[in-house]
Amino acid sequence: MKKSSAAIMVGTLTYLAVTLIGNVMEILLRKWEFLKWNPLNFTNYGNQLVAPTFANITHLTTNQLLWGSLAYTTVFLALGMWVFANKEV
C-alpha cells in the first residue's frame, strides 16, 4: 500500500466520523462553551446557511462560521504544504 492511499483512507474515514461526532459535539457545546471554536464545529457552516436556527447548536453566527472556516482552512492547508514539502519522496 502506498503512502498516498493511506492518507486518502484516513481523510475519508475522518470525514465520515465527523457526522458521528456531530451529535456528541452538540451535547458537549451545551456543557463547555469554549468548544464552539473546535474545527469540527465549523463543518456545520452549510447546515447553518440552510437553517439559520442551527446557530443554537453551533453557538456561532454565520459570519463567525465563515471566517473561522476560512482561517482553519488556511492554517491546515499551510500545515499540510509544510509537512509534505519537508518530506522525502
88 backbone dihedrals φ, ψ, rounded to 5°: -75, 140
What residues have CB less than 8 Å from 86, skipping those under 6 apart?
none
Assess whether pLDDT exceeds 60 at residue 76.
Answer: yes
Domain residues of the chain, as ranges?
3-85
Based on C-alpha coordinates, what's the Rg of the chain? 15
Q: What is the pLDDT of residues 18-57, one digit of tens each?
A: 777 777 888 888 888 888 998 888 888 888 999 888 888 8
Cβ density class 55-77: b for 16+ within 10 Å, e for less: eebbbbeeebbeebbeebeeeee
Assess whether pLDDT exceeds 90 at residue 71.
Answer: yes
Write the CA distances from 28 to 32, 41, 67, integer angstroms. 6, 11, 22
